């Protein structure tokens, strides 16, 4: 029997005609889970390193911790007998990136094998394959996954290989085939790697964001929180920005040894709730100047044309002292007359109701963030069932406009530098 390694998900039930359309009802919010790759790589030396090698023991230990220490209850899933989901890794090539057998020549066989094994999530990489063949190959494998009749989330690396080859990905086909997809470099255990991904998502948001929404997500790669490369502040920054991206939250960390303060970041239920917001709108960078960035993501509840928001104030400065950022909500595009109930999602402080004209001030640590949830008060007074009012039956992430108007932002940092910029006019994110 041909043997493989490990990873993640996707699909729908068998159809009479050969259909490649993804309509499996899966991943309506960004997938969450634990993966081995970034932390443990392909360490198969179980003689000399039994605690860290890729083995049944490692995965079962992680699965037990997911359940016993509260991760699963928050949405991080794995392994059936613990009421978790099971994912696997493969490659649309002759070999995987680590040199194990790929699926070329065995697409139908492997899809059926995964279904027989009870796989819930399939990650299909693209090493040792031709990017020019991926427009046919990835949908073909998706078709065979569909034909098994077993729902499996389908995670694709299709776009990133084509971008690197100088091709323009067929996003209509990708969105119609995959539940999530990689579009940039593999993450490494370093702050430089994290910031390069953040920059890529900000610099390319106009082309990337319209592709994301319930059932189909941009994937910036794994959370490396709790490993070796990020400080505490930087770890909070990754969690906050991945939440604004509406990104999959896929941990790759040794859950046996993670320190409590990093575990608390990964288990922050208020932040996870924003990540899993049912509107599924990917957020945007709305300000970037002098080492300070502001990112905004529309979330529920919604009242008419007024969204609630998650706002991240991100300090890229390295001058050793927190930066004070002072803005009015109106300058950020939050204009509902009744105001917004504001809560800091890391420290839990509630600032009460802030009106659009009032100034809101935060101190942001170097390489750190402040993440606040701004709930529109008019919607909070109504039942939660009305949060999709005005969507007119369409997928919110593909039919709503990002409600940032042509505004000026007056921002003050700790050195009394006043910055004035023009923000984006209403940008269609769908």
pLDDT at residue 83, rounded to an integer: 77
CB proximity list for 10: less than 8 A, separation 6 or greater: 22, 24, 26, 27, 121, 122, 142, 145, 152, 153, 154, 155, 178, 179
Told to judge if 416 belongs to the known catalytic residues of this protein, a careful annotator would answer no
CB proximity list for 140: less than 8 A, separation 6 or greater: 20, 107
List beta partners, residue 312: 295, 371
> How far is CA 172 from each of CA 28, 139, 145, 399, rounded to the nearest angstrom?
18, 12, 19, 16
* Active-site entry in 185, 186, 341, 363: 186
C-alpha 106, offset from chain centre: 30
**Cα-trace Rg, the chain:** 22
List beta partners, residue 129: none
Told to judge if 186 belongs to the known catalytic residues of this protein, a careful annotator would answer yes
Which H or E element spans position 314? strand 306-315
CB 32, CB 71: distance < 8 Å: no
34: helix, strand or coil? strand
d(CA 382, CA 336): 15
Which pLDDT tens digit goes with each residue over 59-79? 888 888 888 898 888 887 756
268: helix, strand or coil? coil
Q: Give the domains, in start order, of the chain with CATH numbers.
A: 32-275 (3.20.20.70), 284-428 (2.60.40.1180)
CB 388, CB 397: distance < 8 Å: no
Which H or E element spans position 297? strand 292-303
d(CA 127, CA 116): 25
pLDDT less than 50: residues of the chain: 1-20, 383-430
| Strand boundaries in 87-139, DSSP class E | 87-91, 121-125
What separation, in Å, do the N-terminal and C-terminal C-alpha atoms of the chain show? 45
pLDDT at residue 424, rounded to an integer: 26
d(CA 86, CA 117): 9
d(CA 19, CA 227): 42
pLDDT at residue 183, rounded to an integer: 94
CB 153, CB 121: distance < 8 Å: yes
CB 30, CB 248: distance < 8 Å: yes
Q: Which residue has the tokens 């007024």?
A: 306
* Active-site entry in 77, 125, 140, 221: 125
């Amino acid at each position: 029997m041909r043997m493989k390694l490990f990873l993640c998900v996707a699909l729908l039930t068998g159809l009479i005609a050969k259909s490649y359309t993804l309509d499996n009802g899966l991943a309506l919010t960004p997938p969450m889970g634990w993966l081995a790759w970034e932390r443990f790589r392909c360490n198969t030396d179980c003689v000399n390193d039994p605690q860290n090698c890729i083995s049944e023991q490692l995965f079962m230990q992680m699965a037990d911790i997911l359940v016993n220490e509260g991760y699963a209850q928050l949405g991080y899933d794995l392994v059936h007998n613990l009421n978790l989901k099971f994912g696997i890794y493969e490659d649309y090539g002759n070999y995987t990136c680590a040199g194990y057998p790929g699926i070329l020549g065995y697409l139908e066989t492997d899809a059926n094998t995964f279904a027989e094994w009870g796989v819930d999530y399939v990650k299909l990489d693209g090493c040792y394959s031709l990017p020019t063949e991926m427009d046919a190959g990835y949908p073909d494998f998706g078709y065979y996954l569909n034909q098994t009749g077993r729902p499996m989330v389908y995670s694709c690396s299709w776009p990133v290989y084509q971008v690197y080859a100088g091709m323009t990905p067929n996003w209509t086909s990708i969105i119609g085939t995959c539940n999530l997809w990689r579009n940039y470099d593999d993450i490494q255990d370093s702050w430089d790697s994290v910031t390069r991904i953040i920059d890529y998502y900000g610099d390319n948001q106009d082309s990337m964001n319209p592709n994301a929404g319930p059932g189909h997500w941009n994937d910036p790669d794994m959370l490396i929180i709790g490993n070796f490369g990020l400080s505490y502040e930087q770890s909070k920054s990754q969690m906050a920005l991945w939440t604004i991206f509406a990104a999959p939250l896929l941990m790759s960390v040794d859950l046996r040894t993670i320190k409590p303060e990093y575990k608390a970041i990964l288990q922050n239920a208020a932040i996870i709730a924003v990540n899993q917001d049912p509107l599924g709108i990917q957020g945007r960078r709305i300000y970037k100047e002098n080492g300070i960035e502001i990112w905004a993501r529309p979330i529920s509840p919604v009242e008419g044309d007024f969204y609630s928001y998650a706002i991240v104030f991100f300090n890229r400065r390295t001058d050793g002292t927190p930066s004070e950022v002072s803005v009015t909500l109106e300058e950020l595009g939050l204009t509902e007359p009744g105001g917004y109930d504001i809560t800091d999602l890391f420290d839990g402080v509630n600032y009460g109701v802030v009106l659009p004209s009032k100034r809101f001030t935060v101190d942001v640590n170097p390489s750190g963030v402040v993440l606040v949830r701004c709930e529109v008060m008019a919607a909070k007074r109504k039942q939660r069932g009305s949060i999709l009012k005005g969507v007119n039956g369409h997928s919110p992430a593909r039919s709503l406009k990002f409600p940032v108007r042509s505004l000026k932002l007056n921002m003050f940092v700790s050195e009394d530098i006043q910055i004035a910029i023009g923000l984006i006019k209403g940008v269609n994110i769908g």
